[in-house]
Every structure is written in C-alpha cells, then in structure tokens.
Chain A
Amino acid sequence: MTFKEIQELIRLVGKSNLTEFKMKQGDFEITLRTDKYEKGKVQALPQALPIAQAPVLPATVSTPVSPASAPVHKAPASPEVEAPAAASSEDESQYIAIKSPMIGTFYRSPSPEKPPYIKVGDTVEAGQVVCIVEAMKLFNEIESEVSGKVVKVVTEDAQPVEYDQVLFLIDPKG
C-alpha cells in the first residue's frame, strides 16, 4: 500500500460513519479509529457505572493532558476539607451510649480507694463491668453490651442518675 493510498483510505474512513477500520494485507496491517470510536465507548460506559464516577471518565480518557491535571490539583485538597467534616458529623451517631437501667447513684470504682473500672481511651469488651449503680441499697455492676473504646465519661462519680441517663460513650470501631 502506497502513502497516497493510505491518505485516500484515511479520508474515506473519516467521512464515513465508521468508528474503527482494520485492514490486513500480507505483512501490512493498518487500524484506523475515528473520534466516533471514543464517543461510542464513553456513551456505553456510564450506564454500567455509578453516576458519581461518570464525570471522571471523559476527563481522563478523551483529553489526556490539561483536564487530567485539574483533578490532580483537586485531589489533595478535597480530602483535607472533607475528612474533618465527615468525622464531626459522625460524632453523635457512631458512638454507642451505655445508659443507666434505673434511678440510683453512679460509682466509677468498686470502692472509694480503688481505681475506676474504665477511663477515656480504655478498650472495653462486651460483658466487661464498667461501673456500679446503687439503687435503694442494691448494688449493680453494669456490664457493657458492646466492645470498643471509651471516648467519654459522661456522668461524674458518686452522682445521682436517672433512668436511661447516658453514663459512657463507646466507639465500637475503636
């Protein structure tokens, strides 16, 4: 195939509605792809992809240099902004509260001279005793129903507590 013949072939394929043209003749092999080839590929993909990811593809596939640099600049910036925002919005919801099952008095240790059962930063196992609630001279060791990390001691030692009052916050992922 001469250079002229190749030029002619390119012109014909370019005017056609073809997306791709392959030709093999002995040792000679040529593949031509039109701009319709890339559009067809991109249009097919979004249907299979989650909506949020679709805008990423045209940027990286069709325009290799400049648009790609934009996401690169954005990428380090967005986690910095988004990560603290995500953490603070999870504060209330992701912790599990250990609550008082009755009216009584809350004690953090088994007796005044002993250290508290748990403190902030400790890891607790489900079934571990975390405090005592005394009610009408009955003494109750309260077991944690979850495993995790103690993130907050909500009630002070030797204070009266109401039914359902939050005593501790536990981070189950901690």
Chain B
Amino acid sequence: MNNTNTLFTGKVLFEFEELTSTNDYAIEMLAKTKPTEGTVISATLQTAGRGQIGSRWLANAGENITMSIILYPTFLMARRQFLLSQFCALAIRDMIAQHVDAAVSIKWPNDIYVHHRKIAGILIQNTLSGQFIQNSVFGMGININQVDFPAELPNATSLAQCTGSVYDLKTVRDQCLACFEQRYLQLKQQKIDLIQSDYLKHLHFLGENTRFENAAGLIFSGTITGTDESGQLLIDTKWGEQAFEPKSIRFLDLF
C-alpha cells in the first residue's frame, strides 16, 4: 500500500515512466472498468499533458507531479460542479502552503499561484448523466523540482524555485493526496460554506482594484468580490457588479 496518510486516496496507484496523458488513461479505465474511488494514475513524463483545450501542460521528466485522481461525486448536482474546482484548488494550495512562506493563492477559476507566478494547474473532466455527476477525473500538474522553465512559460515557478530546496516527489505526492482527501471529505460532508469561505480567502486579487480586458477588447478596472454558484467571477465595476465566465475576461495585472 502506498499512502499511509489517507483513507482511500492513492491506495490504488498506477505509476508510469511515460504516458501521453494521465487524464486520458483514467478516462479509458473508467470506460472499461469501475476503478476504486481514489485511484491515482501518476506519470514521470507526460508526453501530451493537457491543459485547457488547445494548450499543453509542459513539465520536465521526473521533476514534477503529474497525476490524475478518480472520484465518484455522485451526490453533487452537475450545476454545482464548480465546488470540485474549488476543493481541488484548495487542496493543492494547502499542500504548497505547508512548504512556502509566501502567499499562495488561487487564480480564478483554478490555477495555483505563488506571488504572480503559476505553480500548479488543474484539469477536471466529468461524466454526466442527467442532472448528476457519474465520475470525475482530477488531473493536476504541480511544479516541484524544476527550476529552469522554457521562454514560453515566463510566469512559471516551482516549489524548489520558491524555497531553494529539492523535494522527494513521492513524499510531496503523498502530502498532496492527503490534502486532496481532506478537502474532498469536507465537500462530501456538505461543508460548502467552509469550502467557499476558504476559496474566497485565498482568491487572487480579491478586494484589490485590478485591470481586466473583456472579450470585446474593452479594458476596464474593477474589484473582484467573489464567485457565484456556477463559478462565474464577480467584479465590482463602475457599471455595477458584473459576472464573467473564463472566456469573457482576461487579467491584465498578472505577470
């Protein structure tokens, strides 16, 4: 057995030297069998790691955590699925904050930042039937020991870059799985208010006057006040409070 800090997360662990994408592998598993809840697929090297549609997740082999976790949050209505993003982002933030003294924040909707640099990303893929979630695959890339990043990733950072230490990947991975399970259990126990207040507490730029660009190219300033139930970003602007979805807005004050 692999992880002694969890009840079920990572008890079943598939480790690969090389995989095109841990999420793709997890989804294939779900199509063929019913993997145990908390099953983890981990890869030393992801050759086609996926970020958002059209963007790739780039990570050096053996230096970072690239893994996917399978859960069955069948108790959650599909329309409340932003809670999955929230608890997962909080879990990774919790783990990183154990090592880093600087402020670790969540850039809406679900990237993890140290200062103005990105340290981790999440890609969640669900299967839905009717109004409910059947299964969820939580893919995450967390930069750990990588210190040199390609020019196309000017705002990337890692645990090692933040602290100057080198980390044992398995230890950090186990810590991450423990944080993940703890936050998932909060969701399962309906501690929605706790998840939402913690998410807001660590939301990047919350309460700060910040510049944005909307889909039409309009540049404006406003203050982030939070997120609504569907996960839209709420910004207090001179036209009043407005809600935005990820494609309709860009942060201009990020490095």
Contacts and interface: CB of A to CB of B under 8 A. Distances in A.
Given A102-B81, A138-B85, A143 B128 contact: yes
A136 B127 contact: no
B129 A143 contact: yes
Centre residue among A101, A105, A163 by max chain B CB count within 10 A? A101
Nearest to B110: A137
A145 B129 contact: yes
B211 interface: no
A143 B231 contact: no
Contact of A101 (B54, B84, B130, B246): B130
A68 interface: no
Contacts of A139: 123-126
A140 B129 contact: no
Q: Across the A-B interface, give the 8 residue pairs with the lowest CB-CB distance, nearest first.
A: A136-B231, A101-B78, A143-B129, A102-B79, A139-B125, A140-B126, A138-B124, A141-B127
Interface string A34-49: 0000000000000000
A112 B126 CA distance: 19
10 contacts: A101-B131, A129-B127, A135-B81, A135-B231, A136-B81, A136-B246, A137-B246, A143-B128, A143-B129, A145-B129
B245 interface: yes
A71 interface: no
Contacts of A103: 79, 230, 245
A135 B230 contact: yes
A138 B128 CA distance: 12
Given A136-B245, A138-B85, A111 B53 contact: yes
A142 interface: yes
Contacts of A111: 53
Interface in B114-173: 123-131, 134
B223 interface: no
Contacts of A141: 125-128
Interface of B: 52-54, 77-79, 81-82, 84-85, 109-110, 123-131, 134, 230-232, 245-247
Of the listed residues A127, A135, A140, the one surrounded by the most CB atoms of chain B closer than 10 A to its CB is A135
A134 interface: yes
Contact of B78 (A112, A134, A140, A145): A140
Given A135-B82, A141-B126, 11 more contacts: A101-B77, A102-B230, A103-B79, A129-B127, A135-B81, A136-B230, A138-B84, A138-B124, A140-B78, A140-B81, A141-B125
Interface in A136-167: 136-143, 145, 163
Nearest to B86: A136
Chain A CB count within 10 A is highest, among B53, B110, B127, for: B53
Interface of A: 101-103, 105, 111-112, 127, 129, 133-143, 145, 163
B215 to A, nearest CB: 11
Contacts of B124: 137-139
A142 B245 CA distance: 20
B130 A140 contact: no
Contacts of A137: 52, 85, 109-110, 123-124, 246
Contact of A143 (B53, B84, B127, B232): B127
A142 B133 CA distance: 9
Contacts of B245: 103, 136
Nearest to B88: A138
Contact of B126 (A105, A127, A138, A145): A138
Nearest to B246: A137
Contact of B128 (A112, A140, A163): A140
A139 B110 CA distance: 13
Contacts of A105: 247
Contacts of B125: 138-141
A138 B89 CA distance: 13
B245 to A, nearest CB: 7
Contacts of A140: 78, 81, 125-128
